[in-house]
Amino acid sequence: MDNLLFELMLILFLGVSSQWVAWRYRLPAIVVMSVVGLLAGPIFGVINPEENLAVVYGPLISIAVGIILFEGSLGLDFREIRGIGKPIYRIVTIGALLAWLLGSLAAHYVAGLPLAVSFVIGAILIVTGPTVILPLLRQAKLKPLPSAILKWEGIIVDPLGALLAVFAFVFIQFITLDDVTFITILFFIGGSILAILIGIGFGLGVGKLFENGLVPEYLKSPFVLSSVVTAFTISDTIMHETGLLAVTVMGITLANMRISSIGDLRHFKENISILLISVIFIMLTASLTRETLIAMFEWPIISFVLLMLFVIRPLTIFISTIGTGLPFKVKLLTGWIAPRGIVALTVSGYFAGVLMLEGYEEAEMLTSLTFGLVFATVIAHGFSIGWLSKKLNLSTESTPGILMVGSSKFTANFAKVLDDYEIPVMIIDSSWSRLSHARRLDVPNKHGEVLSEQTDYQLDMTPYEYMISMTEFDSYNTLISTTFKPEFGREFLYQLPIQMDNGDRLDEVSNHISGNILFSEQANWTVLNEKINQGFVFKKTKVTEEYTFEMLKKDLHHESILLAIIKGSGKISFFSPNREPKIESNDIVISLSKPNNRQG
């Protein structure tokens, strides 16, 4: 018992630590988790989750994959694919079938597997899945078109791959075994349709309960979580692997019901999914044997992996998207990026055992074959997606951008200074007249309400690492900070200080719901714009070893306000009473100063 408790603790610690290391050193998270799992499992033998967790190992992974797939499908709002639905439809239908057929033939003629086993593994290996695609998309910051295509393909094809594997296995039995009849195939089709109906039913049921206020706020997340597990279990009990289809359909149904609380649920599920992905990747890789790892380096497996990477994947994308109008650069990126992950490993592990029981001894090779492709794609695509997307101009600017909410004289002039330093900046405001300041200075701007769902789909927020709220309304600034905290993180959310003598009297507002204070406690909206009216100017001063930051502060006029620092790398950080930025030689300090101030 003590050993099991220690192993569970270690799995959790290694999973979350891997995510943190990946974030801290800007590495692909799935690569770090895979390496850590291999070191802890087959290489050093510290843990063996499959052996120690015994009967709960399989169900635990299956349910976790179902929750991850549901969380991913919650983001599949059909409004996202307006104008790009045709290539996505082609990729998840024609592309998936081509990948299945070509992958099966490669498994037979290159890896040397029997044709029956090849068609099962060919189906399994068409999946990419949210467990590997979503972390890569977060890392690479792709533009909306390639990002949407990869995300939709990963989430939709995930359950299809598992179902195709089941279908291939049933069809093999139908051909080779006398006791498997045409009725068995009809049962498979009926089970798949039933899983879709179960997913729609649970999605509509949960949605209607929420819309009618029949579930209190504090129970919504637990209620949805238990509903997902229930839908998955019912479908999977009726027919194996249909649970993935049910939860995917359930998520898509909820995502397109336009329920106001779905956004909060999505944030909760995303946090749960990150934890589950971390834990399960460690469990799967740590459960592999040394024999499986050694077998990965045999020439038939290496040849198969290379063929899947450089021939079959690009071929299926280019063929399936003929006549869709998809740009060549997007086809090139999509044709390269196709990492396999948890679903491929778990489903192949299941079928390896089933096929061996049916007398296919070569099926023992399935785990090595699958993990060889998983590890190769995770490494190759994890490290190349950022570089390739930049080369193809399919990623956003590498310099972290700033989304400014609220247009005013100060905001427009400040944005102009940052724009001159080639820092991506965008001012958004619901008032066309207030945006005149930004238009006059030719600063990028957007007319719209940042809290509106419509604006969310029209404005790509990927390039912007910071969001700063600079309207004259303290309550609105705080609401924005609260709303966007899950997307940006509190460390990247800033708002103007509360106006004590004017406005909403929010001087006692909790700092847990507000963003970081911009500039200083006195630099509220009124003060900043009055200084602009009085002729204050933005000064840019380079800090050197000869002219230190301490010397700069002494030279500043007492009414001047320190605003931001532009680092030598091009990154920006803001002055705030909450935190003191680190200033080094060659950094540029931006301040709002009197024009006759001798400093500058």
State the pLDDT at residue 572: 85
492 and 522 in a common domain: yes
68 and 191 in a common domain: yes
State the pLDDT at residue 233: 92
Nearest to 330 by CA among 383, 397, 389: 389
DSSP string, 291-339: HHHHHTTSHHHHHHHHHIIIIIHHHHHHHHTTTS---HHHHHHHHH---
Assess contact for 415 and 387: CB atoms under 8 A.
no
Q: For residue 286, is it within any domain?
A: yes
Per the model's pLDDT, the better-predicted residue between 265 and 387 turns out to be 387
Assess contact for 229 and 48: CB atoms under 8 A.
no
The whole-angstrom separation of Cα 107 and Cα 118 is: 5
- Terminal-residue alpha carbon distance, the chain: 67
Q: For residue 135, is it within any domain?
A: yes
> Among 171-180, 281-290, 352-361, 471-480, where is mean pLDDT lowest?
171-180
Domain that holds residue 223: 2-391
* pLDDT exceeds 80 at position 332: yes
496 and 406 in a common domain: yes
> Among 215-229, 329-343, 503-517, where is mean pLDDT lowest?
503-517
Give the DSSP H/E element, type plus range, for residue 250: helix 242-255
* pLDDT exceeds 60 at position 552: yes
Long-range contacts of 526-531 (CB under 8 A, 24+ apart): 526/472, 526/499, 526/502, 528/408, 528/410, 528/496, 528/561, 528/592, 529/408, 529/409, 529/410, 531/410, 531/559, 531/561, 531/592
Q: For residue 600, is it within any domain?
A: no
Average pLDDT for 531-541: 87
* pLDDT exceeds 70 at position 81: no
CA angle, residues 239, 121, 384, in degrees to nearest 5: 115
> Among 76-85, 220-229, 329-338, 551-560, where is mean pLDDT lowest?
76-85
Q: Which value, in Å, is the radius of gyration of the alpha carbons in the chain?
A: 27
Most confident of 69-78, 262-271, 490-499: 490-499
Paired residues of 517 in beta bridges: 495
State the pLDDT at residue 263: 61
Last residue of a domain, one of 371, 391, 411: 391
319 and 278 in a common domain: yes
The whole-angstrom separation of Cα 168 and Cα 252 is: 26
441 and 326 in a common domain: no
Q: For residue 599, is it within any domain?
A: no
Q: For residue 598, is it within any domain?
A: no
Total count of domains within the chain: 2
* pLDDT exceeds 60 at position 457: no
* pLDDT exceeds 50 at position 600: no
Per the model's pLDDT, the better-predicted residue between 333 and 396 turns out to be 333
Q: Which CATH number fits the domain that encloses residue 574? A: 3.40.50.720
State the pLDDT at residue 106: 93
State the pLDDT at residue 234: 93
Average pLDDT for 415-437: 86
Cβ neighbours for 565, distance < 8 A, ≥ 6 positions apart: 572, 573, 574, 575, 581, 583, 587, 588, 589, 590
Assess contact for 362 and 113: CB atoms under 8 A.
yes
449 and 327 in a common domain: no
Assess contact for 131 and 344: CB atoms under 8 A.
no
474 and 384 in a common domain: no
Average pLDDT for 512-518: 70
Per the structure block, which two tokens stand in for 385? 């997606």
Q: For residue 121, is it within any domain?
A: yes
Burial of 202 (0-12, 13-18, 19+ CB in 10 A): buried
> Among 119-133, 196-210, 374-388, where is mean pLDDT lowest?
119-133
Given the structure tokens 């600034």, which residue do they identify?
477
Paired residues of 468 in beta bridges: 404, 494
State the pLDDT at residue 599: 47
State the pLDDT at residue 310: 94
pLDDT in tens, 292-312: 788 888 899 999 999 999 999
The whole-angstrom separation of Cα 442 and Cα 419 is: 10
Burial of 171 (0-12, 13-18, 19+ CB in 10 A): middle
Q: For residue 396, is it within any domain?
A: no
pLDDT-derived band of residue 14, with 50, 70 and 90 as boundaries? very high
Per the model's pLDDT, the better-predicted residue between 458 and 173 turns out to be 173
Average pLDDT for 487-492: 78
> Among 30-39, 124-133, 326-335, 414-423, where is mean pLDDT lowest?
124-133
Average pLDDT for 128-137: 72
State the pLDDT at residue 511: 52
Assess contact for 519 and 562: CB atoms under 8 A.
yes
The whole-angstrom separation of Cα 284 and Cα 297 is: 19
Average pLDDT for 315-324: 92
Three-state SS at 425: strand
Cβ neighbours for 350, distance < 8 A, ≥ 6 positions apart: 58, 240
* pLDDT exceeds 70 at position 266: no
Average pLDDT for 446-454: 74
504 and 365 in a common domain: no
Three-state SS at 563: strand
> Among 177-186, 213-222, 224-233, where is mean pLDDT lowest?
177-186
* pLDDT exceeds 70 at position 109: yes
* pLDDT exceeds 70 at position 77: no
Per the structure block, which two tokens stand in for 164? 């195709």
Dihedrals φ, ψ of 72, to 5°?
Answer: -65, -40
Nearest to 445 by CA among 435, 457, 455, 456: 435
Last residue of a domain, one of 357, 391, 425: 391
208 and 100 in a common domain: yes
Distances (CA, A) of 430 to 448, 451, 455, 541, 568: 4, 10, 10, 34, 35
State the pLDDT at residue 98: 94
pLDDT-derived band of residue 227, with 50, 70 and 90 as boundaries? very high
pLDDT > 70: percent of the chain: 86
Q: Which CATH number fits the domain that encloses residue 347? A: 1.20.1530.20
Arithmetic mean of pLDDT over the chain: 81
Assess contact for 394 and 329: CB atoms under 8 A.
yes
* pLDDT exceeds 70 at position 270: no
* pLDDT exceeds 70 at position 138: no
Q: What is the longest distance spanned by two Cα atoms in the chain? A: 96
Dihedrals φ, ψ of 545, to 5°?
Answer: -65, -30
352 and 501 in a common domain: no
275 and 359 in a common domain: yes
Average pLDDT for 119-145: 78
491 and 382 in a common domain: no
